[in-house]
Amino acid sequence: MSKDITYLEAIREALFEEMRRDPKVFVLGEDVGAYGGAFGVTQGLHAEFGDLRCLDTPISESAIVGVSVGAALRGYRPVAEMQFGDFITCAFDQIVNQAATLRYRYGGRASVPIVVRAPSGGNVGGGLYHSQNPEAWFIHRPGLKVVAPSTPWDAKGLLKAAIRDDNPVIYFEHKYLYRRIKGPVPEGDEVVPIGQAAVRREGGDITLITYAAMVQPSLEAADRLAGEGVEVEVIDLRSLLPYDKPAIFASVEKTNRVLIVHEDVKTLGIGAELAAVIAEERFESLDAPVLRVTCPDTHSPFAQALEQANLPNADKITEALRKLAAY
């Protein structure tokens, strides 16, 4: 059985179910309590679980994650909310120098089962402080796991998997998707494994690798190419660290052409790493250069017209697919 709910409702449902399932799970962050969070994700949690399990904090991301690391070492499973993913930088030391390294430093005798929820992404008129896609900073760091769901089903299932994981997980939830997409979500305890990609559309001519909010314009572009006789296989990574290398390679060996689409800026985004790995390990399968469609190396503009010009979209993806098909 499944029901249709929004991306935001799926995240909230995962929090309720995991907090009911495990009394060691608690949430903390700015205004997550009675107010219900800046975007309403945590509405209702405080009423059911009270102050000690739905904890309002000062405006200090480093404190939020620091408290989470300490609580995790004492056996709890904190879910820390960054009000906007942009401000995760204020907790950078706590995440990359503390949470990511503790298991290694303790020789495996300690774990840090924290989840850092980071509302990220643009196309919401948020300007440069409320529109960033900072995933590349964290996929560079051993000891972390990083996920970025694109559907309500995955938003719920990946959050449940993240909360149960004994490693620190950065959970990027795209703000643009909160109330704009709705889809089936299974009733019951359905967990989406971290590290497994999903093939959203099968095809034999070009592999398109993407994730989060870029899945929908990628599917739209793939449908356009189908009308021109080119079948594009769309892979939704879902998990950025670890990513599903076998799924990527299987598709590349089938299509021999690759386009990578992400909303993050181009230089040293995850697309650069994927392109390098494909070139290193599957070069002989390629019939064309690996191409990328990304945001340019600029800050996110506030003006709507400039933001739209900045973002990847179905038109830009379609153009790149046609270029690959003709190569």
Q: In the prediction, which pLDDT does 194 show? A: 98
Residue 130 a catalytic site member: yes
Q: In the prediction, which pLDDT does 187 show? A: 87
Q: What are the sequence ranges of the domains in the chain?
A: 2-186, 198-326
Which CATH code is given to the segment(s) 198-326? Answer: 3.40.50.920
The one-character DSSP state at 300 is P
Which portions of the chain are predicted below pLDDT 50? none
Cα(308)–Cα(319) distance, integer angstroms: 16
Q: In the prediction, which pLDDT does 39 show? A: 97
| Residue 69 Cα distances to 99, 108, 137, 161, 268, angstroms | 6, 16, 19, 18, 28
Q: In the prediction, which pLDDT does 190 show? A: 92
Domains 2-186 and 198-326 equal at CATH topology level: yes
CATH class of residue range 2-186: alpha beta
Q: In the prediction, which pLDDT does 2 show? A: 87
Catalytic residue among 130, 174, 262, 299: 130
Cα(63)–Cα(291) distance, integer angstroms: 40
User: Quick one: which H or E segment has residue 114?
Assistant: none
